């Protein structure tokens, strides 16, 4: 019985040592949070959620981030438990608006995400409003 208990403890210790916060190149997408998750964030003062975004991380450290209104491209780098996106190009998804309102990248914009199990997350603050952005690894 003691041998089974020791094996069980050893198995738990080995499983707890695995790195679940692995960043994988590929596609990440938003998913609508459930009602319980929304309530948890509302208690924390988060009243907005990013939906409909898609992030493609390539093996050559380039990325494409498609949001509801923009298409951004650039380079990504992993530092510890964070992912940083350096935006080199940003254009509107509606091509007719690009001619009227071109977005000029005069400086490099950096966006940071925290690497979590099976995804990425970040908090964005606009004045006194907080928005939560969570991207999950997409397995086609």
Mean pLDDT of the chain: 82
Task: For 71-114, write each residue's pLDDT tens digit.
Answer: 999 999 999 999 999 999 888 887 777 666 666 665 678 899 99
Residues 6+ away with beta carbon under 8 Å from 78: 23, 84, 115
Which whole number is the average pLDDT over 117-136?
A: 87
Q: Where are the domains of the chain?
A: 19-137
More confident of the two residues 26 and 13: 26
Look up residue 135 and give its two tokens.
Answer: 């991207």
CATH topology (fold) of 19-137: Lipocalin (2.40.128)
């Amino acid at each position: 019985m003691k041998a089974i208990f020791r094996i069980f403890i050893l198995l738990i210790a080995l499983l707890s040592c695995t790195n679940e916060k692995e960043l994988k190149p590929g596609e990440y997408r938003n998913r609508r949070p459930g009602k319980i998750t929304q309530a948890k964030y509302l208690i924390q003062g988060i009243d907005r959620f990013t939906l409909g975004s898609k992030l493609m991380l390539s093996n050559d450290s380039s990325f494409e981030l498609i949001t509801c209104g923009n298409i951004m491209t650039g380079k990504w780098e992993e530092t510890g438990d964070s992912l940083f996106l350096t935006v080199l190009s940003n254009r509107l998804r509606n091509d007719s608006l690009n001619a009227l309102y071109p977005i000029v990248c005069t400086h490099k914009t950096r966006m940071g995400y925290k690497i979590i199990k099976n995804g990425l997350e970040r908090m964005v603050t606009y004045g006194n409003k907080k928005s939560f952005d969570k991207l999950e690894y997409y397995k086609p």
